[in-house]
Amino acid sequence: MKYDPRRHHRRSIRLRNYDYAQPGAYFITIDLKNCRRHFASCPELKRIVEEEWENISKRYPNVKLGVHVIMPDHFHGIIVIVGATLAVAQGKNRVGARPTPTGIKTKPTLGDIVGSFKSLCFYRWFQYVRKNKINAPVKFWQRNYYEHVIRNDREFQVIREYIINNPVRGYSD
């Protein structure tokens, strides 16, 4: 059977009708492209990802970061969106803010936050590879990411422990 791009539809893995901009805690996993172990073999890439993760709260004042871990071929982290209100646009667009027809920026969604994180990591890595003329793959993130809405304190603690213990389970650099 011949491939027909009109018949190919990517199914969303997000919860239908869920507002991913609302306050709450989210467990995310971002895989590396083709399950490559770039974080184990490229310490500079790992450093860039670490720094950009820490910068999320600076870019998004309504976001707090929970624990995270960088594994050889994937990244786990907890993002907490705290109560945020609409803000009137003041000329400059902030990364991830979605302008509306009324000129009001809405609070960023989880997708906005993760998308800017992945994009900024890519950009910094691309600059590093180009500047240092190294032979390394430039595109390293898998296209999508996985998320789980954390529904209560118990689940938060279980996921937190999972992230903390992930390297100990025999899968470390």
The predicted-structure confidence for 89-123, as pLDDT tens digits, reads as follows 233 344 455 555 554 456 899 999 999 999 999 99
Strand ranges in 10-125 using DSSP code E only, listed in sequence order: 24-31, 63-70, 74-81, 87-88, 98-99, 104-106
Residue 141 burial class via C-beta count within 10 angstroms: exposed 0-12, middle 13-18, buried 19 and up:
buried
Q: How many CB atoms lie within 10 A of CB 106?
A: 15
Pair of tokens at residue 118: 């992945």
pLDDT score of 11: 59
pLDDT score of 16: 76
Rounded Cα distance between 67 and 5, Å, is 40
Task: Tell me the whole-structure pTM to 2 decimals.
Answer: 0.78
What residue spans define the domains of the chain? 24-164
Rounded Cα distance between 84 and 75, Å, is 26
CATH classification number, 24-164, choose in 3.30.70.1290, 3.20.20.70, 3.30.70.270, 3.40.605.10? 3.30.70.1290
All residue ranges of the chain with pLDDT < 50 are: 3, 8, 84-95, 103-104, 172-173
pLDDT score of 99: 55
β-pairing verdict for 87-88 and 104-106: antiparallel
